[in-house]
Chain A
């Protein structure tokens, strides 16, 4: 079964921006989605990420064995940031897009749906 990554992007969250009640509501919405998609056998994985303020970007200058540099922050400073992802197992793109529209992140931000490379078939 093909897999799709559903990458959840939303406006960067400032600390204390949402009230505990709002958080609770969002969590409940995510729990609903996971229950529904889980029961349908669609979720093959997924994680939520801490805010980009906790991110460190690593680059090795000069290629392998080169000089390692660390930058505080995300790969790129953008208004909308990656906040988490799901791995969805779906028959085709229509199915994946249909599930993606039910992820609460799609209601507050956007979901980028990307097919996952299947090495066993491509190689």
Chain B
């Protein structure tokens, strides 16, 4: 492992411990930054310690203490608390600290955008510039958003702890939603080429793995990881050599990452067997079933439809309802899918609703209506890859007529 990787992998856990010790996000970050500079200097001479995380924590903790001593405005009480902590032996593997950090960053008192930005910054160790790029905003704006969030955590005293059992379902849902949001931002870029933000998808999977490692008994954490792994397994096959979008039915399945699909379906099976039926687990099960099919026609549509029906009961969002319509169309014909789509509301601006509709109309032989639906789809916001794909579909339909 090279120096940069070590810093990146250990940084999150060290930061989590430092935040607990100092009770101050900014101070902890600054101290870690300083300690990392020392590490680069010393480690590059070949003296990499056996336990880099412990080494970094010890150095950073001393740097933090120095800073606190220099800052006269800090009350004597705080310094005293810090001094006591310095006498404390080195923290454990950082397990609980990282979990605390995740729950603090995803606290419902912060806006969703702040939760995502703060998580990427503190847990994944992304720079403000990188996060700003993901949000298509300036570094200044993103820097302000992150520092406002940190300030709110300190001023309003958002606690740094793992929620109690009775609060856990709600709070865990917020954490999972943040990770999934990062994943979708990465998997399906809002602008440019479809795969232009793959880095974020990889970060989300890293976070997902961390959640499963920290909370091995939470089926929804496992479900989310499975969903991301099985979907990401198809990443390379989504575009052809020319960069054109390929639908699931047309993808070269030998290009899928079958190792990831296996890992996903194992996670799903283990948790379904335990009786869990949460949203992410159901979605992970659907994604795994797609991954396990050797081709489109071999897909287990009956089981997928069944899973979508359960999912819609738990989570009747437009995305779920439109996806269910696609599966029902495969099982019972395009008319069945179209009937379900007719009942979905509030999707006028979502291109995938219109393109799904167009696809099913096309299959029903209603070419004029299909063309109209493609034109509706093209008025919606979308990335370049999707736009080009839909333009081609519309063109081939017009040629057919």
- Contact between A97 and B109, CB atoms less than 8 A apart: yes
- Contact between A121 and B75, CB atoms less than 8 A apart: yes
Which one, B75, B109, B163, B167, contacts A93 given CB within 8 A?
Answer: B109
Measured between C-beta atoms, what is the minimum distance from A88 to chain B in Å? 12
- Neighbouring B residues of A91 by C-beta, 8 Å: 157, 159
Contact with A along B151-186 (1 / 0, CB 8 A): 000011111000100010000000000000000000
Q: CB-nearest residue of chain A relative to B77?
A: A121
- Contact between B155 and A115, CB atoms less than 8 A apart: yes
Measured between C-beta atoms, what is the minimum distance from B72 to chain A in Å? 12
Measured between C-beta atoms, what is the minimum distance from A101 to chain B in Å? 12
A5 to B163, CA, bound (A): 23
- Neighbouring A residues of B75 by C-beta, 8 Å: 121
- Neighbouring B residues of A92 by C-beta, 8 Å: 157-159
Interface residue count for A (Cβ, 8 Å)? 9
- Neighbouring A residues of B155 by C-beta, 8 Å: 115
- Neighbouring B residues of A113 by C-beta, 8 Å: 156
- Contact between B156 and A115, CB atoms less than 8 A apart: yes
- Neighbouring A residues of B163 by C-beta, 8 Å: 94
Interface residues of B in 64-85 (CB under 8 A from A): 75
Q: Is the interface of A mostly helix, strand, loop or mixed?
A: mixed
Q: CB-nearest residue of chain B relative to A123?
A: B73
- Neighbouring B residues of A121 by C-beta, 8 Å: 75
Is A2 part of the contact surface with B, judged by Cβ < 8 Å? yes
- Contact between A94 and B159, CB atoms less than 8 A apart: yes
- Neighbouring A residues of B109 by C-beta, 8 Å: 93, 97
- Neighbouring B residues of A97 by C-beta, 8 Å: 109
Q: CB-nearest residue of chain A relative to B75?
A: A121
User: Which of A2, A91, A92, A94 has the largest count of B CB atoms less than 10 A from its CB?
Assistant: A94
Q: CB-nearest residue of chain A relative to B153?
A: A93
- Neighbouring A residues of B157 by C-beta, 8 Å: 2, 91-93, 115
- Neighbouring A residues of B158 by C-beta, 8 Å: 92-94
A97 to B163, CA, bound (A): 14
Contact with A along B130-160 (1 / 0, CB 8 A): 0000000000000000000000000111110
Q: CB-nearest residue of chain A relative to B108?
A: A97
Contact with A along B84-119 (1 / 0, CB 8 A): 000000000000000000000001010000000000
- Neighbouring A residues of B107 by C-beta, 8 Å: 93
Measured between C-beta atoms, what is the minimum distance from B118 to chain A in Å? 15
A92 to B103, CA, bound (A): 14
A97 to B107, CA, bound (A): 12
Interface residues of A in 65-101 (CB under 8 A from B): 91-94, 97
Interface residues of A in 40-81 (CB under 8 A from B): none
- Neighbouring B residues of A115 by C-beta, 8 Å: 155-157
- Neighbouring B residues of A2 by C-beta, 8 Å: 157
Q: CB-nearest residue of chain B relative to A95?
A: B159
Measured between C-beta atoms, what is the minimum distance from B175 to chain A in Å? 15
Measured between C-beta atoms, what is the minimum distance from B167 to chain A in Å? 8
A1 to B256, CA, bound (A): 56
A121 to B167, CA, bound (A): 31
Interface residues of B in 228-258 (CB under 8 A from A): none
A2 to B156, CA, bound (A): 9
Which 6 residue pairs of A and B lie closest in terms of their CB atoms, listed nearest first? A92-B159, A92-B157, A115-B156, A93-B156, A93-B158, A94-B159
Q: Can you name 6 A-B pairs with beta carbons within 8 Å?
A: A2-B157, A92-B157, A93-B107, A93-B109, A93-B159, A115-B156
Instruction: Name A's B-contacting residues (CB within 8 A).
Output: 2, 91-94, 97, 113, 115, 121
